[in-house]
Amino acid sequence: MRNRRYLIIGLAVLLLSGVIMALAPILAPFVSGKRRQSVSAWISAPGQAAAIGSIKNHADRLSSLSPMWYVINEQGRLKRDWIGDPKVAKAAIDRGIQLIPTISNRFDPTATAAMLTDPGLKRRFIDDTAGLIKKNGYNGIDLDFENMRAEDRDRFTRFVGELKSRLAPLGALLTLDLHAKTSEPGGWQGPISHDYAGLARHADQLRVMAYDEHYAGGPPGPIASLKWVRRVLRFAKSKVPPAKLVLGIPLYGYDWGESTPTKSVTFRQGVNEAGLHNATVKWDKTAAAPWFTYDLDGKRHTVWFENARSAAAKLDIPEAKNIRGFSFFRLGIEDPAVWQELDKRIYATY
């Protein structure tokens, strides 16, 4: 009788241990006090080699990658934009990272409208996209349709619904890159063309590009000040289920010159530029971003850029606690310390 009791107790302990091990990945974020959210990144043509380095060094932190390989041409057709290094796809696949390439409209509202308003072109685009996924074994597709006409808002929403219906049987994800805005319908035609609530009914993920608050064609300022990012995310959460919402975080900056074209800078370029001109990098507490000024040929330059500290500030905002995850633009140009900040905040320790 005693042996039977011990046997039953032993079996119960083994069963309980199995249940705990099975639930550990689910319970860990709550037990550890950390979040477990997705981390994705875009890859563009410049700096592709650097992106491969980031993939190899930080694969365990990445959920998906979106190399910007495809575009809509002037006739509204899908085509390859630039030849991607096969090492990108191999590095992602070998490490279990989802590969969700981006199709861009190159900020061309006319080409996009040509596809959206022509039933034949639209059908062909959807067919070509599905074929692309099947042929290459992609996990899905990412649409980066920016600067569209305001009057194409409803057409774009219907198109996304049709595309998702075609991709669903393939088990393919559909993610969208959306202009940042803080109210409906939006301040200019690009944001107006993105109906957050309507698009959320169809797409799997909506990546809100919370950057370019100050852009190359405007006056100097933070790329994504903290107060502005919080407003953008609060509005997005009022329209999009948090489980579908991804916050786009910048890793770049701009160098504004008084009489020269504004140029984009990476984290390393920003730091090197400050050192070259003996400029002091300052921290704007309100914006939660670094910046500095320098003089060249008698002209004042103002540089705002992003580093690990500014990225961490965005990860820490209350509005981001329960969203799907984060997407960085773009991989390979980041402050290396960004990964340490992610480790502190995103990843559960099992």
Please tell me what DSSP assigns to residue 139: S
Which percentage of the chain shows pLDDT scores above 90? Answer: 82
> Is it the case that residue 23 has pLDDT exceeding 50?
no
Indicate the SS3 state at residue 6: helix
pLDDT tens-digit readout, 120-153: 999 999 999 999 999 999 999 999 999 999 999 9
| Model pLDDT, residue 86 | 82
Query: With 60 as the cut, is the pLDDT of residue 350 above it?
Result: no
Structural domain boundaries in the chain: 29-251+307-345
pLDDT grade, residue 21 (50/70/90)? very low
Long-range interactions of 81-88: CB distance < 8 A, separation 24+: 81/45, 82/45, 84/48, 85/48, 85/49, 85/52, 87/52, 88/43, 88/48, 88/51, 88/52, 88/55
pLDDT band at 35 (very low <50, low <70, confident <90, very high): low
Work out the pLDDT band at 346, boundaries 50, 70, 90: confident
| CA distances for 131 relative to 73, 99, 124, 152, angstroms | 17, 15, 10, 25
> pTM for this one?
0.89
Alpha-carbon gap, residue 173 to 204, rounded angstroms: 6
Residue 27: pLDDT over 60:
no
Q: Which CATH architecture has domain 29-251+307-345?
A: Alpha-Beta Barrel (3.20)
Mean pLDDT along residues 252-267: 96
Residue 89's pLDDT is: 86
7-35 burial by CB neighbour count: b if 16+ within 10 A, else e? Answer: eeeeeeeeeeeeeeeeeeeeeebeeeebb
Residue 34 pLDDT: 56
**Residue 335 in contact with residue 306, Cβ under 8 Å?**
yes
**What's the pLDDT score for residue 3?**
54
Rounded to an integer, what distance in angstroms lies between the CA atom of residue 254 and that of residue 333? 13
pLDDT more than 70, % of the chain: 89
pLDDT by residue (tens digit) across 144-177? 999 999 999 999 999 999 999 999 999 999 999 9
